[in-house]
Amino acid sequence: MKKIASLFVLIVTFASCSEDIKFNSPAFQAYKNGVTWKANEMHAFSDAGGLTIMAAVGTDMVILHTSSAAPGTYTLGTGLINTATYESVDGEGSSYATGDEVGSGKIVISPGQTAGTITGTFQFIAEDEEGNEVNFTDGNFYKVPQ
């Protein structure tokens, strides 16, 4: 009986040690004002005006725009070409953006892209019309479809 009980304990121990691995591809996530913000919808598109990446969760949306889809670092807050926007339509709605001498940050497009996708990192501080700020840090976008 002790052998059966020991065998049962051993089986239960090994069965409870399994690890569920969940892959997150594509992905778009960051910390918004210190709280995890993870998009459930995302896509990117390139045109003559550069690259635009859109990501949304519920009624919140982040839009990143760069002058090119080429790998490199694109600085925010120094003009109107490379920009980051955060919009929320909850309640009265709000819109924060970087622009010419407004906000700061960067978008980094990684080299070695997989065909039809875009990967990189971002961080930005954007402002609304009243000067209130929203802060996105440690942002990553991974294999977002184009």
Rounded distance between C-alpha atoms, residue 10 and residue 63, angstroms: 52
* Residue 73 or 4, more confident: 73
Domains of the chain, by residue range, sit at 27-145
Residue 34 in tokens: 């210190």
Q: What's the confidence (pLDDT) of residue 1?
A: 55
Rounded distance between C-alpha atoms, residue 83 and residue 17, angstroms: 46
pLDDT digits (tens, 9 = 90+) for 36-86: 999 999 999 998 889 999 999 999 999 999 999 999 999 999 999 999 999
Could you write out the DSSP letters of every residue in 92-140?
A: T-EEEE-BEEEEEEEEEEPSSPPTTEEEEEEEEEEE-TTS-EEEEEEEE
pLDDT digits (tens, 9 = 90+) for 10-39: 454 555 555 555 557 799 999 999 999 999
Residue 108 in tokens: 């980094």
pLDDT digits (tens, 9 = 90+) for 77-129: 999 999 999 999 876 679 999 999 999 999 999 998 889 999 999 999 999 99
**130: region left, alpha or beta (phi > 0 left; psi from -120 to 50 alpha):** alpha
